[in-house]
Amino acid sequence: MARKIATIIWHLIVNDEIYEDKIGYKKGEIQKRKIVETEIFSVDERIKIISEIFAITEKGDEEST
């Protein structure tokens, strides 16, 4: 599950997209959320962030076993 979430986050970051939650809205009614402040990360910084997410999730898995 954590890998799926990290993959979704990675896709959104790399493609500079905004997550759209369509659950709870009526059909055809899509509300986009604007990001007020955006930061530009290099590819290396993005890889580091994703690596840290995986390290945290792996640490959590080891502690729970």
Using one digit for the tens of pLDDT, what is the confidence trace for 24-50? Answer: 555 555 566 666 666 788 999 999 999
Q: In the predicted model, what is the mean pLDDT of residues 2-7?
A: 89
Q: What CA–CA distance (Å, rounded) separates 26 from 38?
A: 29
On whether the CB atoms of residues 16 and 48 are closer than 8 A, the answer is no
- Domain membership of residue 21 (yes or no) is no
Q: In the predicted model, what is the mean pLDDT of residues 51-64?
A: 81
More confident: 64 or 12: 12
Q: Provide the sign of the torsion angle of the four alpha carbons 6, 9, 13, 16, taken in this order.
A: positive
Record the tokens describing residue 65, joined without a space: 């076993």
pTM (2 d.p.): 0.36
- Domain membership of residue 5 (yes or no) is yes
- Domain membership of residue 26 (yes or no) is no
More confident: 56 or 18: 56
- Domain membership of residue 64 (yes or no) is yes
